[in-house]
Structure 1
Amino acid sequence: MPSHNMNTVLIYVEKYKKWVTSNPQLAGDIESTVKWLSYFTAGRINNSTLMSELVYSMSNLLVLFNDRIINANTQVETKLPKYHSKIRIWLTVLEYSEVLLEISASKLWGETGKWLIIVILQAFKSVMRLLLVHRYKERVTQSPPIPPIKRDKISDKVETIEKDGFALKRSKKVVRKVNSGGCSQFRSWAPIPPLGIDDQQTTIDLTPNKKIILAETLYIIKPLLHLGCVSVSGQKQWKSWFLSLIIDLASLKLYSNETKAVTLRKEEFDEISRRRVALLLYILRSPFYDNYSRMKIYALLKMLSRNVPLARMVTDPIIKYLPHWQSTYFYMWSS
């Protein structure tokens, strides 16, 4: 009986994999709907913080799971070493679920349990990211390490593969059909590009640079240095705030100096740009938020609510939930 049930489950799993591979855009729409449910549940039911984080984490993990299915069925197998790939998967899973784990620990064991989990998670993340940089020679670690696939491009490429080629069962290598492309004099004999592979990856020099590695190392160990400073000086103190800001600025300065001589991949450039924009989040971190930005942000939101038509629909929920968001998402300088 258990064997029969397992076979039934495997059959449904295979059907689900085929459906996701054939309908990547529709799967993406469903994932987005599930993610929006996390915002809808916030503040509307008991234990809304835990519930909204659970829904949000599950939606992101669903995206990761579906992307892995699409990769396995329609893309050339990754050239990454086995353990390199596993580290990136575990870091992505952890990044999607770390806030949920922290909130759960807080509810089960109080503040002491929450900060113990934070230290364990940040130490694990830092060690794994340092392995990516120093062992596997990644220059810039992405956040998340495995970004979501662009489903609209996947749909177009799936149609191209089905029309002009086919994927080999074992290697997943895409082979162009002999009768594809019309007349032979106009037919392209170039291989069909694999799904999700950026052309820049094959043309840009990926040789590690010592100063770029130093910049990335500083960024990776920043959460641990911040936690160490918090343990000495206490929470919501200027020392930890300034320490993290200085490390971020030093890391970005090193990148800025070296990128004049080193060409970055698009993914690396986008990640560094994201980190520059993330500097704006320092206005939401204590003690700067408590002493300076909180009243100004509330004043701006109330002004927009009074003077801009329909703005109240957006500003009122922000005013209501900003204290919760600030205390939930902005007490850590996570890498």
Structure 2
Amino acid sequence: MELYSKWVRRNKDYVHSMESLANGLTWLLPERFSETEIGPEAVTAFLGIITSINEHIIESDPLQRRMGAMEESSSSSFPWSLGISVLKDLETLVEVMAQHFYGDDKKWNFLAVTEGTKFLVRLALFRDSGYKMVLNGGEIANVDNRPEASNSDPRLGNSVRRDRFGRDPRSLEGRALSALSKFGEDARMISEPKWLNRFQNHHDPTMEPPPPVPKKPTLSKIWSEKGVPGVLFLTAEVLHMSRPLIYVLLMRKYGVRSWLPWFLALSVDLTGMSILSHVRHSGHSRYGGSSSLSASEKDEVKRRKMLLAFYLMRDPFFSRYTRKRLDTVERVSEPIPIIGFLTAKIIELVIGAQTRYTYMSGS
């Protein structure tokens, strides 16, 4: 496993290219979106899990960990993000198998279990991260890299950590000198006796102490320091994380033809986004003012707004309105060579993907 991890880190660009190609080809497999889709979805799930593991290996590179923010040192050792990625890779396979063996109605029982598990894992991640905004459904760690330290570079927009000689470890010169310094230290450690190394490390006055580990805020601390805005922020995040589970439970009870799940899920999303928007512009330090959000958190707010487009692809809205628009586009483009063929193929894939809850869940 260690050899595989090293190979992935050395060849991460090649790994990304092959993963993107393989994931793209799975959409062209025979029997895609058919009743016997278990085989193609199993292949897709397997490739997705491999991709998630490779991404976790690359992101957990020791060099990247040393260059990361101090908040990472206080995070839980359990890879919650990897767990969420694996669940998302498996959920479509679970849906297809449940539909094949138990039917369209009972598949919602399995989807409810899947969404409930994801909700609990995200709550654990939310707590272990110090109640920071959940990024990309929890697949991306929320590390605060805003320029608050004295050695930050305002041109880069995030903190730049420097070594004890004042060099930027990410620059070419910094990496080279750091490598030479590390090589010299390793050679000295090998040549000197272990008891002498321990004695020198213990009594070296120039050795920098380890950076302090920041304490994670608790619910009581957020309430005492942030007050109502902090509680509203927590409420908005919990609403965002719980919306998929609420939607599935309503679909399980009322069915795909009912407008109630569609409207209530949309209401939960809009309520959570409205609360978050109010907190951002309320003028309170960490949970107020748009400037208090990091760049990744601002991108997450934009991503959540874009996810609202999935409501156009969910029944009963899709069957009532969107499907008619797609049929019109296909009919108009059909006489045009090449364009008509490509349009028909794209619409076929879109209609097929719409039949899967997990493709349009936005969770």
Alignment of 1:105-184 (within 5 A): 105-111=98-104, 113-134=106-127, 136-147=129-140, 163-166=176-179
In the other structure, the counterpart of 1:251 is 272
Q: 1:50 to 1:168 in 2, by over 3 A?
A: farther
Report the alpha carbon displacement of residue 269 of structure 1 after superposing the two structures with TM.
1.7
Cα separation, 1, equivalents of 2:241 and 2:33: 37
8 A contact 1:284–1:330 mirrored in 2: no
Letter matched to residue 23 of structure 1: N
Q: 1:164 to 1:303 in 2, by over 3 A?
A: farther
Determine whether 1:279 maps to 2:279.
no
Alignment of 1:1-335 (within 5 A): 13-43=1-31, 49-70=37-58, 71-76=60-65, 78-82=72-76, 85-111=78-104, 113-134=106-127, 136-147=129-140, 163-166=176-179, 209-260=230-281, 261=283, 262=288, 263-306=292-335, 310-329=338-357, 333=361, 335=363
8 A contact 1:139–1:212 mirrored in 2: no
Q: 1:264 to 1:48 in 2, by over 3 A?
A: farther
Letter matched to residue 269 of structure 2: D
Report the alpha carbon displacement of residue 109 of structure 1 after superposing the two structures with TM.
3.3
Cα separation, 1, equivalents of 2:271 and 2:52: 32
Report the alpha carbon displacement of residue 295 of structure 1 after superposing the two structures with TM.
0.7
Letter matched to residue 227 of structure 1: V
Cα separation, 2, equivalents of 1:311 and 1:41: 22
In the alignment, structure 2 segments of 5+ residues that lack a partner are: 67-71, 142-169, 184-221
Letter matched to residue 244 of structure 2: P
Report the alpha carbon displacement of residue 283 of structure 1 after superposing the two structures with TM.
1.1
Report the alpha carbon displacement of residue 89 of structure 1 after superposing the two structures with TM.
2.1
Deviations 1:244-275 (A, max 9, x none): 11111111111222222332122222222111
Cα separation, 2, equivalents of 1:329 and 1:109: 16
Letter matched to residue 79 of structure 1: S
8 A contact 1:122–1:334 mirrored in 2: no
Report the alpha carbon displacement of residue 323 of structure 1 after superposing the two structures with TM.
2.9
8 A contact 1:105–1:113 mirrored in 2: yes
8 A contact 2:251–2:261 mirrored in 1: yes
Q: 1:109 to 1:48 in 2, by over 3 A?
A: closer
Letter matched to residue 317 of structure 1: K
Report the alpha carbon displacement of residue 234 of structure 1 after superposing the two structures with TM.
2.8
8 A contact 1:43–1:49 mirrored in 2: yes
Report the alpha carbon displacement of residue 66 of structure 1 after superposing the two structures with TM.
1.6
Report the alpha carbon displacement of residue 239 of structure 1 after superposing the two structures with TM.
0.9
Report the alpha carbon displacement of residue 160 of structure 1 after superposing the two structures with TM.
6.9
8 A contact 1:226–1:333 mirrored in 2: no
In the alignment, structure 1 segments of 5+ residues that lack a partner are: 1-12, 149-156, 170-205
SS across alignment from 2:73? coil
SS across alignment from 1:220? helix
Report the alpha carbon displacement of residue 333 of structure 1 after superposing the two structures with TM.
4.1
TM-score by length of 2: 0.66
Report the alpha carbon displacement of residue 69 of structure 1 after superposing the two structures with TM.
2.4
8 A contact 1:302–1:315 mirrored in 2: no
Deviations 1:291-323 (A, max 9, x none): 11211122123324445x632242111232333
TM-score by length of 1: 0.71
**Identical aligned residues as a percent:** 23
Deviations 1:176-235 (A, max 9, x none): xxxxxxxxxxxxxxxxxxxxxxxxxxxxxx987222211111112212322333344333
Larger radius of gyration: 2
8 A contact 1:237–1:287 mirrored in 2: yes
8 A contact 1:106–1:114 mirrored in 2: yes
8 A contact 1:21–1:74 mirrored in 2: no
